[in-house]
Amino acid sequence: MTQPATPRPAPDRLVVAIDGPSGAGKSTVAALLAARLGAARLDTGAMYRAVTLAALRRGVPLDDEPALAALARRLVLDVADDRVLLDGQDVAAAIRSPEVDRAVSHVAAHPAVRAVLVDAQQRWIQDHPRAVVEGRDIGTVVAPGADLKVYLTAPPAERGRRRAAQRAGQAADPAAETAALEARDRLDAGRAASPLPRPEDLAADAVLLDTAGQSPDAIVDELLARLGPRRATPSAPQSPVASQPLPGIGARAARRLADWRARSDPRGPWPPEIGLGPRSYRAVRRLVRAINRTAWRVTVHHPERLPTSGPYIIAPAHRSFVDFFVVAELTPRTLHYMAKAELWRSRLLGALIGVLGGFPVDREGVDRQAMSRAETVLARGDVLVVFPEGRRIEGPQLARLEEGVAFLAARSQVPVVPVGVGGTHRVLPKGRWLPRLVPVHLVVGEPLAPPPRSERGRVARHQVHALNEALAAALQACLDEARRLAGDDPPTSAS
């Protein structure tokens, strides 16, 4: 899969790409340089190692490219600076084992795996205005527009000696480490997707440095000199999607408002980052959940039914505008919402929904852009919220479900989780602006698996329809239970 090139960073951004083979000193130099620049650091090799570790632990064959790519999409990876979390578990030491060393090149050679991780790496760069990224294809594939592209190298014997020294207590043999590194170099240089570049193939603007006999501090000093005025370090490490500080509260507020508007504009580029960045998302999410728990005392029933990792679709019943907020109680994971485009007519409301991870859908026809955005969310391994009724409905009976949710689940091969909502129609019914303090209950149903693809990679229309019917039945049962728990009024003749 061909990845789009990363745009050249804006003037207020700084991206440094550091490439080179194992043992060349990338991690040491990247860590020192990031500290001197006040920048965030990403070790992309740790991402490939984490996927390899997960494949070894789960018995996924290293030659099964589709299975490895699907595994990479499902994993929850948190890699930044020296932190490596795999589905919430610290694996910083485990990914450096000899078993992973031997297997990682085979996993990284698969184009489908690289497509998943390169996309994640490019999104990480967009999240961090000052970034030092290390790997084997950063300056050529991941960030070809980087402000500074560096290629570090060293003789194989020197690299083997360093690698042996890193294996404290493992009685590593420098000669064996050198042979293993040379074998990996051949594999990485010969792969079809994003091969390890040779020094003679580097771009004209890349800096080639031999680290043998040089101290890491001397190398970093040289790189800082090449950056020149761009090396200016902020007074404090910058948070994701931050910019140069603006003087005065009023200027800062104006910048934030403009950023909100830009990010919540339905005509804007996709995938947009979440509002003002992950920190702002978490802050607003915490506020929403605090309101949920104090004002409406939201109770989640059967939360154990929610998948613990990987992408999936939450499909709630829709009885009130506050349904959008109360579903935040279901999971601490990042949520993305598909919401009607009419909500973006209000700049303030559109900004709030954008901060919470929402994007618009035109309900008058087939909105291909919205469907593409939804598929992007799921491909990234995130959780998507879609109200399958398509609009707010009054009464205890579900409206006829649109088949968009079933189609997305089948196309992306992710499960659908029905969620009944009870009490929200009394919190904020149609026509009322001031919410009532009414207890709300959420009932989680069993996940519904998507129908399998055929040998041609497709799902038949009748299978999508069958999934939609199964979702309707399961969602109605969840809605009935939620209404019973909330003590909702019985159905009336009008409903």
Q: What is the pLDDT of residue 209?
A: 87
Strands 299-301 and 441-444 turn out to be parallel
Residues 209 and 299 in one domain: no
Residues 91 and 193 in one domain: yes
Residues 316 and 361 in one domain: yes
Specify burial of residue 302 (Cβ count, 10 A radius: 0-12, 13-18, 19+). Answer: middle
Residues 211 and 269 in one domain: no
Residues 144 and 268 in one domain: no
Residues 157 and 293 in one domain: no
Q: Is residue 29 part of a domain?
A: yes
Query: pLDDT by residue (tens digit) across 27-85?
Result: 889 988 988 888 889 999 999 999 999 999 999 999 999 999 999 988 888 887 778 88
Q: Of 102-106, 235-239, 284-288, 417-421, where does mean pLDDT reach its minimum?
A: 235-239
Q: Of 135-139, 347-351, 467-471, 481-485, where does mean pLDDT reach its minimum?
A: 347-351
Q: Is residue 438 part of a domain?
A: yes
Q: Summarize the confidence of residues 434-445 as an average pLDDT.
A: 88
Q: Is residue 253 part of a domain?
A: no
Six token digits for residue 37: 């620049």
Q: Is the confidence at residue 238, as pLDDT, over 70?
A: no
Q: Which CATH number does the domain housing residue 299 bear? A: 3.40.1130.10
Q: Is residue 125 part of a domain?
A: yes
Give the number of domains in the chain. Answer: 2
Q: Summarize the confidence of residues 75-101 as an average pLDDT.
A: 84
Q: Which CATH number does the domain housing residue 202 bear? A: 3.40.50.300
State the Cα–Cα distance between residues 44 and 357, nearest whole angstrom.
Answer: 25
Identify residue 286 by its one-letter amino acid code. Answer: R
Q: Give percent of the chain above pLDDT 90.
A: 23
Residues 221 and 79 in one domain: yes
Give the SS3 label for residue 138.
helix
Q: Is residue 235 part of a domain?
A: no
Q: Which of 300, 245, 244, 257 is nearest to 129 (CA)?
A: 244
Which of the two residues, 261 and 96, has the higher pLDDT score?
Answer: 96
Residues 473 and 417 in one domain: yes
Q: Summarize the confidence of residues 233-256 as an average pLDDT.
A: 36
Q: Which of 211, 230, 249 is the last residue of a domain?
A: 230
Residues 266 and 334 in one domain: yes
Rg (alpha carbons) of the chain, rounded to whole number: 25
Which of the two residues, 272 and 391, has the higher pLDDT score?
Answer: 391
* Local confidence band at 363 (pLDDT 50, 70, 90 cut-offs): low
Q: Is residue 26 part of a domain?
A: yes
* Local confidence band at 494 (pLDDT 50, 70, 90 cut-offs): very low
Six token digits for residue 48: 């490939």
Q: Which of 212, 230, 248 is the last residue of a domain?
A: 230
Q: Is residue 212 part of a domain?
A: yes
Residues 191 and 85 in one domain: yes
Q: Summarize the confidence of residues 102-127 as an average pLDDT.
A: 89
Q: Which of 163, 168, 166, 136 is nearest to 152 (CA)?
A: 136
- CA distances, 392 to each of 368, 422, 429, 484 (Å): 22, 13, 10, 19
Q: Of 120-129, 193-202, 246-255, where does mean pLDDT reach its minimum?
A: 246-255
Q: What is the pLDDT of residue 334?
A: 82
Q: Summarize the confidence of residues 462-476 as an average pLDDT.
A: 93
Residues 412 and 371 in one domain: yes
Query: pLDDT by residue (tens digit) across 320-340?
Result: 878 888 888 898 888 888 877
* Local confidence band at 185 (pLDDT 50, 70, 90 cut-offs): low
Q: Is residue 494 part of a domain?
A: no
Task: Confirm whether pTM is higher than 0.85.
Answer: no
Q: Which of 188, 209, 230 is the last residue of a domain?
A: 230
Query: pLDDT by residue (tens digit) across 291-319?
Result: 878 877 889 999 999 988 889 999 999 98
> Residues for the chain: how many in total?
495
Q: What is the pLDDT of residue 44?
A: 92
Residues 363 and 475 in one domain: yes
Residue-range definition of the domain harbouring residue 295: 260-486
- CA distances, 277 to each of 65, 139, 240, 282, 289 (Å): 33, 25, 6, 9, 18
- Three state DSSP letters for 406-448: HHHHHHHCCCEEEEEEECHHHHCCCCCCCCCCCCCEEEECCCE
Instruction: With residue 315 as reference, give the H or E element that holds it.
Output: strand 312-316
